[in-house]
Structure formats: structure tokens, C-alpha cells
Amino acid sequence: MPHLKRTIPTTYAATTGGRTRSWMWLAIGVVLVIVTGVAALTFAAPRSRSATDSQAGAQIGGDLHTVFFNAGTLYVGGHDAVVTSTDSGQHLRPITSLTGADAMGWAASGSSLLVGGHPGLFRSVDQGTTFTKVTAPVSDVHALGGAGTMLYLGSPQAGLLASEDGGRTWDLRTARQGQDFMGTILVDPKNPSRALAPDMATGLMRTVDGGRTWYPAGGPVGALAAAWNPADTRQLVVVGMTGAAASRNGGATWQPLSVPAGTSAVTFGPGGTVLAGVLRDQRAVIYASKDQGKSWSGTAKSASHTGG
């Protein structure tokens, strides 16, 4: 510490013999006591952690595309990585087999879980633990959804494709729409010919004929993500480039929805909880609302993934 060194004049220390050594040892002792005390205070009284510190999240790259809840597990897809959580985002762990998959859309089909991105289509047959790349009609998948054996796939390369056999075969339903679809396509489990898809060029789009024709369904312009409550599919949440909105009547009417700043994807979790994904410094942070967006709380507590 500079101010302690200045209390021992250099000329005095060089000319006073044994007393010099005594004073030097005394000064060193004072320094050690001060340093020890500072260290003790540092470790005994850690600083309070801000919301950003306690919600560091998990690194997923430059974009957060999707949050998807299926069979008790939350999946968060980003440009470089996919992370999962079994506690609504409190702890996030990577799926190493999806590193670089650029996950954008998800579909549960029978015992399989599928995810699509720029590299193509990936499938898991072990409850989302590992994924392998599968043959797909296109190499660039921006939107994906399914129910039962019915799958929908949106690609800027082709438009909207559909499969009625769980992805073994595909056919082009329309080339006029689907190029701008993004995220997870919501497919009615009771009637798979009905589906809702976020469209970045317009808003939420609806089909009732298996994807052959699509109609505007409302919500914010430039839709990036959509979700419905599995317990009541009339409850909808959509996030777009111009904000977010919610509907309680299947899209007949919409109300503005307040979401955390930077929200780019949403899904419904257990008990109707709305989960929102936010990207901060290339890390995913998950927020939860149990009151239809009136209040939000951050849930991510640890950063267990540091990139691919």
C-alpha cells in the first residue's frame, strides 16, 4: 500500500541499523494485518447480486429463436446452441448434439421430437436427450410444428410443406406462403388440419385445410413466436417486431401484452405459466408470468453452458 510505504523514509531506513529492521518488521506486520482484514471483509461479506448477475443464463449465440415446452422440459433454441431445463428455466443445460443447429421450430410427433434450423431437420427418439440429423425436403427450416403424425414445415426455400406420416414423406402445400414463417407452428391436436403460424412479414396466420391456404389471424405485426395454452388452446400469446399481444378467444380479439424488454420467444409452461425468452450478451434468460403478463420474474440462476 503506497501510503504505508511513505511512512518509512528511505534515508532513515538506510542508516539506523537494528532499529531499522525493527521498524521495518513492525511496518510489514501492520501491512499484513490490514491486508488480512480487507481479505476477510471481502470473503465474509459478498456483494449483493443484481438481477443481471443472478440471471446470467446460458450461452446460445447471437439469436434466441424459440422457447418450447414439451413433456415437462423447456427447450431454448439459439443460433449456436440449444439448452434445456426441467425447472422452467432455473437451470439450463446444453444438448451437445444440437450445437450449431440454429434451432427455430419444434414439433412433437408421436414418440419423436423434431427441431428445424438452417442446417435442416433433426429428430430425437429418446425424449429430447440426443438428436440426429434426418433427411428433409429442404435444408433451411425456419418454422416447424406438429400433432400426432401431422407435421408442418416452413422454409424460405420452398414455402409450406406438410407430412401426414410423421416426416417420412412430404408434399408442398403452397409456395405462396410459408417463406416468412418463423418459430413453432401450433397444430390443433384434435384437428391437425387446423394450425397457426407466426409470419414475420405479416402477423399470425391461420389454416383450416392442412396448410393449403392461410389467412391472417391478428396479433402483432412481424410475428416471431406464438404459443397457446395446452389446457385451453383459445388462450394465445404472440410476440412480434412491434410488441406482444394475447387473446383469450382463439384470436377473435387481441389485447396488448407487456413482456420483458428484448423478448423474442414465448411458450406456455406448467399451470398456464407464460415463459418468455430474452437474449442478453448471447445468453438466454427465462422470465415467467403467472398472471397473464401483469408481472414477470426472472428464473434463470446458473450459466451451465459456455458455448459450442
Contacts of residue 156, defined as CB under 8 A and 6 or more positions apart, other chains included, come to 140, 142, 179, 180
Instruction: Please report whether residue 183 resides in a domain.
Output: yes
CATH value at residue 226:
2.130.10.10
Let me know if residue 238 belongs to a domain.
Answer: yes
Full-model pTM: 0.79
What DSSP designation does 203 have? Answer: S
Q: Tell me, yes or no, whether 112 lies in a domain.
A: yes
Domain with 66 in it: 58-298
Residue 281 lies in a domain: yes
**CA 104 – CA 121 distance, rounded (Å):** 10
pLDDT by 10s per residue, the chain, length 308: 333 333 323 332 333 344 334 444 434 443 333 334 433 322 233 222 333 333 457 899 999 999 999 999 999 999 999 999 999 888 999 999 999 999 999 999 999 999 999 999 999 999 999 999 999 999 999 999 999 999 999 999 999 999 999 999 999 999 999 999 999 999 999 999 999 999 999 999 999 999 999 999 999 999 999 999 999 999 999 999 999 999 999 999 999 999 999 999 999 999 999 999 999 999 999 999 999 899 999 875 433 332 33
Residues sharing a CB contact under 8 Å with residue 40, sequence separation 6 or more, in sequence order: none
H-state helical runs in 45-125: 51-54
7-12 — which CB contacts under 8 Å span 24+ positions?
A: none
Total tally of structural domains belonging to the chain:
1
Q: Within a domain: residue 223? A: yes
Does some domain include residue 256? yes
Asked whether residue 26 is assigned to any structural domain, the reply reads no
Sheet containing 215-218, strands listed edge to edge, beginning at the edge strand earlier in sequence = 186-187, 195-198, 204-207, 215-218
- What count of residues does the chain have? 308
Return the H-helix or E-strand segment holding 30.
helix 17-44
User: Which amino acid would we find at residue 190?
Assistant: K
Residue 14 domain-assigned (yes or no): no
